[in-house]
């Protein structure tokens, strides 16, 4: 067990934004929420699954919707607590802890807010090892864990509870409700026992995010090359350096969708990288050829600071480095690729692990 204090919150938010592949919500907003809760209620205990009993019930908490909306439509804090507590009432079982459902942006650290307010621990795992745009895209689905009962709450006090026949239908109905809640809602879902999570979850993600955040901060102090430092910390591959020339972004059906065009600089001069995203980066093409595809991770970093840049934060003129990282092994299975591979998102291309594309070890 380790304690998550205010400094740990900041490190986790920074590192999670790297793992979040551009999505998961604005990490700054989640960091402010979690840091304030820790300051007011005290540090949060972070446990590994092995430190808990197999029968303990764990319920993840998160935000769903378009990340661009959260820039102007802030959560009030009660909404996510309401979503979490109603699951316990519905199941009539005590909840032992909460966890992040995805290792990305706000959704990595906002469960810290819930844990601090309710004086519950948090578990060092998640359901993706990255961020994905749709509810069913979690390792829980691969291992047959239901997303329901699924609760949604907004800042007005409205709460919706869903029971669906499968996790894909949860996405369908929840997305419609989220649009009516203002294109954003706070949620609790995928209630599971520790025994189930030992098989299904991606373990150690919160510690990994923390360590990445520490690495980025240390690189600044030591005036090291931040991009190389981050690349080494995550075991990633530098695939491009350039300047953002254009961003086409729109909010559609509760998603932030769009394309970013990046013109190469330095060794990549006279080349162009295109990023296509749906909340998270899905594919990167260099001069029209696929360079990286989901489910592998694509991170956009500020060249000078190593700071990760979210899809809603991309702006014309930013000088960026594009890092590709291998995904969790569960996503490379037939079930994982069916759930979140390139063809699910409409790209007619076979998935090739990024380390194979670039001739490097995993």
pLDDT of residue 112: 97
Indicate if 235 and 111 belong to the same structural domain: no
Give just the sign of the alpha carbon dihedral 313, 190, 77, 38.
negative
Q: Is residue 215 part of a domain?
A: no
Q: Residue 123 in contact with residue 207, Cβ under 8 Å?
A: no
pLDDT of residue 67: 67
Q: In the numeric block, which tokens belong to residue 6?
A: 């205010």
Indicate if 87 and 11 belong to the same structural domain: yes
Indicate if 199 and 287 belong to the same structural domain: no
φ, ψ dihedrals at 280, nearest 5°? -110, 160
Q: Is residue 211 part of a domain?
A: no
CATH number at residue 123: 3.40.1610.10
Indicate if 170 and 248 belong to the same structural domain: no
Indicate if 293 and 196 belong to the same structural domain: no
| The CA-based dihedral angle spanning residues 324, 327, 333, 337, taken in that order and rounded to the nearest 10 degrees | -60
What is the number of structural domains in the chain? Answer: 2
Indicate if 107 and 250 belong to the same structural domain: no
User: Could you check whether the bond before residue 149 is cis, i.e. omega within 30 degrees of 0?
Assistant: yes
**C-alpha to C-alpha distance for 161 and 31, rounded to whole angstroms:** 27
Q: In the numeric block, which tokens belong to residue 241?
A: 């350096």
pLDDT of residue 362: 40
pLDDT of residue 279: 84
pLDDT means per 10 residues in the chain (362 residues)? 94 92 80 95 98 98 79 81 97 97 89 97 97 94 98 96 98 94 93 98 96 90 87 93 94 79 96 93 96 96 90 92 96 97 95 90 44
**C-alpha to C-alpha distance for 136 and 240, rounded to whole angstroms:** 31
Indicate if 96 and 169 belong to the same structural domain: yes
Indicate if 197 and 235 belong to the same structural domain: no
Indicate if 118 and 263 belong to the same structural domain: no
Query: Which range marks the domain in which residue 201 is found?
Result: 2-205
Give the pairing of strands 192-193 and 202-203: unpaired
Q: Is residue 212 part of a domain?
A: no
CATH number at residue 352: 2.40.390.10
Q: Is residue 285 part of a domain?
A: yes
Q: In the numeric block, which tokens belong to residue 324?
A: 């590709």
Q: Which residues contact 277 (CB under 8 A, 6 or more apart)?
A: 22, 23, 256, 257, 258, 259, 260, 311
Indicate if 199 and 325 belong to the same structural domain: no
User: Could you check whether the bond before residue 295 is cis, i.e. omega within 30 degrees of 0?
Assistant: yes
Chain position carrying tokens 């359901």: 127
Q: In the numeric block, which tokens belong to residue 235?
A: 């075991």
Q: Is residue 258 part of a domain?
A: yes
Q: Is residue 257 part of a domain?
A: yes
pLDDT of residue 54: 98
pTM attached to this predicted model? 0.91
């Amino acid at each position: 067990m380790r304690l998550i204090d205010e400094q740990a919150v900041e490190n986790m938010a920074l590192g999670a934004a790297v793992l979040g592949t551009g999505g998961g919500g604005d990490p700054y907003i989640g960091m402010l929420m979690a840091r304030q809760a820790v300051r007011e209620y005290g540090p949060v205990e972070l446990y590994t699954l092995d430190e808990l009993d197999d029968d303990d019930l764990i319920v993840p908490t998160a935000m769903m919707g378009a990340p661009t909306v959260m820039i102007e439509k802030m959560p009030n804090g009660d909404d996510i607590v309401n979503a979490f507590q109603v699951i316990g009432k519905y199941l009539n079982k005590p909840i032992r802890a909460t966890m992040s459902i995805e290792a990305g942006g706000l959704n990595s650290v906002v469960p810290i807010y819930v844990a601090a307010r309710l004086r519950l621990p948090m578990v060092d795992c998640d359901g993706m090892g990255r961020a994905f745009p749709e509810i069913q895209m979690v390792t829980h689905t691969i291992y047959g864990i239901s997303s329901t009962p699924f609760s949604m709450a907004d800042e007005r006090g409205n709460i919706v509870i869903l029971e669906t026949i499968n996790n894909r239908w949860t996405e369908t109905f929840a997305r419609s409700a989220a649009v009516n809640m203002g294109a954003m809602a706070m949620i609790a879902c995928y209630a599971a026992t520790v025994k189930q999570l030992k098989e299904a979850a991606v373990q150690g993600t919160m510690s990994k995010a923390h360590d990445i955040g520490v690495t980025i901060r240390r690189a600044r102090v030591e005036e090291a090359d931040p991009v190389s430092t981050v690349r080494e910390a995550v075991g990633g591959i530098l695939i491009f350096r350039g300047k953002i020339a254009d961003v086409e972004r729109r909010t559609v059906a509760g998603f932030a969708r769009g394309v970013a065009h990046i013109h190469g600089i330095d060794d990549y001069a006279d080349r162009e990288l295109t990023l296509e995203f749906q909340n998270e980066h899905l594919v990167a093409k260099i001069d029209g050829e696929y360079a990286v595809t989901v489910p592998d991770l694509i991170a956009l970093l500020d060249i000078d600071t190593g700071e990760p840049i979210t899809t809603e934060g991309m702006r014309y003129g930013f000088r960026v480095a594009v890092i590709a990282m291998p995904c969790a092994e569960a996503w490379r299975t037939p079930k994982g690729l069916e759930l979140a591979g390139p063809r699910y998102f409409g790209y007619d291309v076979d998935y090739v692990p990024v380390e194979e594309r670039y001739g490097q070890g995993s």
